[in-house]
Structure 1
């Protein structure tokens, strides 16, 4: 596969999970990668102690890998069971409490890209009220991210695996991106184009790339079916990533796939070693 000008990073919340969190950065570096991303690692705690943050920062720095993306708190993933779309009160407060903590941690590592998952519908609460609160929370996050010159990412999930999530198409995610930008005036909300989720939704990936690359600030990949490594399913990543490049995308490609039955280090045979380091 010819990806000579492509920047790949590894998601340490789905790959290398056979290892403790603090060992994953070094494992990614040993596999040849110099950039990583993370879901918020503490699924039950939007705010954690400084010692835990310092330990993860040290692990990343000592491994020599760059953090290029971080999810805001969304509870247990995959899912998500929480996110910006939350009932008023405690859950919404947990999302908001995480925002400054996550930003300060990521900023200390030179990372200014943040994924705010929309979340699941909550039974017994008016959907319109939920969407109002979600937009309010996303606007709050976008303004906070704007203070560090960062980008807020909005991602579409897929309906088969996340049936309670309202954002299960590229147009719907773009609608939220536009709504956040209109509310803040900052123009720092962008689309996170996850080709696996969009494929699971049955969307025309070529059309999505042609229509929405200009509003895209991060791309994630996994093959379909199975959410495995490229080559394990039916998606043509040579063509898809080439189309992204033709449409002007030059950002990160996050590897957010399941490693299969073996150790994660063996899940990168499709990508020649010289192409794994950011360049």
Structure 2
């Protein structure tokens, strides 16, 4: 069964970019694009994930955009509430700042910063408890794909955290982002057919975990750009994009969003 009735999400992951002056310029340019040629909210959800230091400032600058553009945290602490955890930002503090969305499980966090399955479960638990929507990232390495275990790896990454996600959470607070690690920042991208095949497997896996699995948005990430967005948007189980490098250019990000919105017309 397809997830094609799901309103797509296009989320820009800015990672450790850019300086504040560039962020301001991006926001003004993106607002202008939305003003000149609107993307309706029922056609596509829009969001950006700036650095932690810029979260609230970006949020304030987007408040007067022609339509809602959500602000997403790139990470969250596994510790709850407030306390003696230097450098950490808890889900409690994100919620207190009206940040309603958070990325968890990005491959860069897993590979470079020690986010093990136990750490990810703790982070998801904290985020869900505070009412945040989790964009949970999964994906395989090139070696795993060449060994023929890509689907097994990706589905296991979902199963790794499924025990802390309730039926209600699947219905209201979970988004999955599939990002083949070998395509992140490399300029390479999975073919639309390969991406759709993996998304279809993820959809089937989610359906086994929860009746709500058919309505969970599954986003594709990995060198998404205007040139391939239309083809990706046409795939029935690809419900949007988690955009990396191309999201740092307001026009490119807008064009990607347009491609997914047009597919809902």
- How far 1:187 sits from its partner (Å)? 4.7
> Normalized against structure 2, the TM-score is what?
0.58
CA distance in 1, matches of 2:254, 2:71: 23
Aligned pair partner of 1:35 in 57, 65, 70: 70
Q: Verify the 8 A CA contact 1:223 1:230 in the aligned structure 2.
A: no
Q: 4+ residue stretches of structure 1 with deviation over 6 A?
A: 163-168
Corresponding position: 1:155 with 2:178: yes
Aligned pair partner of 1:206 in 222, 225, 230: 230
> Normalized against structure 1, the TM-score is what?
0.56
Match of 2:29 in 1: none
Match of 1:25 in 2: 55
Corresponding position: 1:176 with 2:201: yes
Q: For residues 161-192 of structure 1, what are the alpha-carbon distances to aligned partners after superposition, in whole Å with 9 as ceiling and x for unaligned? A: 35899898522431431342354354525421
- Give the root-mean-square deviation of aligned CA atoms: 4.3
* Unpaired runs of at least 5, structure 1: 84-90, 247-279
Q: For residues 133-175 of structure 1, what are the alpha-carbon distances to aligned partners after superposition, in whole Å with 9 as ceiling and x for unaligned? A: 4422322434533444223403245737358998985224314
- Stretch of structure 1 that moved more, 172-181 or 153-162: 153-162
CA distance in 2, matches of 1:241, 1:121: 27
Q: Verify the 8 A CA contact 1:120 1:165 in the aligned structure 2.
A: no
Corresponding position: 1:197 with 2:223: yes
Corresponding position: 1:10 with 2:31: no
Q: Verify the 8 A CA contact 2:177 2:218 in the aligned structure 1.
A: yes
- How far 1:197 sits from its partner (Å)? 2.6
Higher helix share: 2
C-alpha distance 119-128 of structure 1, shift in aligned 2 (>3 A): closer
Count of equivalent residues: 212
Match of 1:103 in 2: 124
Corresponding position: 1:132 with 2:181: no
Q: Verify the 8 A CA contact 2:199 2:238 in the aligned structure 1.
A: no
Name the SS for the 1:192 alignment partner. Answer: strand
CA distance in 2, matches of 1:112, 1:28: 18
CA distance in 1, matches of 2:255, 2:187: 26
Which structure has more RCO (C-alpha within 8 Å, separation ≥ 6)? 2
Q: Verify the 8 A CA contact 2:121 2:164 in the aligned structure 1.
A: yes
CA distance in 2, matches of 1:68, 1:184: 22
* Unpaired runs of at least 5, structure 2: 1-35, 64-68
CA distance in 1, matches of 2:188, 2:121: 27
